[in-house]
Structure 1
Amino acid sequence: MSLKDVIAADLDVFLNTDEFADEHILDGKKIRLVVAADTLNGTPLPHAEGVSLWRKVIHVSCTDLGYRPNEGGLLELDEQVYEVVNVEEQDGLYAITLEANTM
């Protein structure tokens, strides 16, 4: 088995809903992904007086998503719209940093 085959098999485990991933709605499409939230004890990070910053990093298969999101663009995750702050691709997986401000 080649290294690429081993990495692909690891992605199947990482994105398995019985292991790490959950199903979410991303831009209207049901997709398996892993969400890491950047919050303080489940509450948003303080951003400015009266405004809170929600930041999430999602890990999703490049193939499952089907396109590379544009930094500065918008993505809808589970009916919440976020700005795409950063997109990194490594071994068939996107790590996408999302932010949303709330009042």
Structure 2
Amino acid sequence: MSLFKDTVKADVKNVFLNADEFSDRHEIDGVEIVCQIDTDIIDPKGGSISQPLYGVFANTITLYVSSEDIEKPVEGQVLRLDDRRLSVRQVKDEMGIYVITLEENDS
């Protein structure tokens, strides 16, 4: 592995997912894990990523978590985040951090 990749891997928990800096502890599927939650989701084409349909709205959040802390979820899987049950919409591995888009229906 290159020096850069080694540095990024070390920075995942020491910088990006550091509970004393940017991140917080949340319960994911019954296990307390340091992660980041982003509820300010904007579609790159403009507007909100959540679209209303027949009076039902999808609350969308993005979860950032170390790939070492959880098994990679799959699209459609139900994930428990604290006291919420959310559906996995998308998962990306960004150099050791899973970027997980989650949705829950609301009316």
Shared topology, TM-score over 0.5?
yes
Determine whether 1:57 maps to 2:59: no
Question: Which residue of 2 is the match for residue 75 of structure 1?
Answer: 79
CA-CA distance at 1:52 after TM superposition: 2.3
* Amino acid paired to 1:14: F
Measured after TM superposition, the shift of residue 2 of structure 1 is 1.2
Paired residues of 2:41 and 2:62 also in contact (CA < 8 A):
no
Instruction: Report the equivalent of 2:95.
Output: 91
* Residues 17 and 72 of structure 1: CA distance in aligned 2, closer, same or farther (over 3 Å): same
Q: Is the 8 A contact 1:38 1:54 kept in 2?
A: no
Q: Deviations over 1:13-69 (max 9, x none)?
A: 1111111110000011100001111369xxxx561343222100001000011x110
Query: Are the structure 2 counterparts of residues 52 and 22 from structure 1 closer, same or farther at C-alpha, using a change threshold of 3 Å?
Result: same
Distance of 2:87 and 2:54 partners within structure 1: 20
Alignment gaps of 5+ in structure 2: 43-49
User: Are positions 1:36 and 2:8 aligned together?
Assistant: no
Q: Which consecutive unaligned segments of at least 5 residues does structure 1 have? A: none
Q: Report if the CA contact (8 A) 2:79-2:86 is conserved.
A: yes
What TM-score do the two structures reach when normalised by structure 1? 0.85
Structure number having the greater strand percentage: 1
Residue equivalent to 1:23: 25
Deviation of the 1:4 alpha carbon: 2.1
* 2:7 corresponds to: 6
Alignment partners' CA distance in 2, 1:50 and 1:4: 46
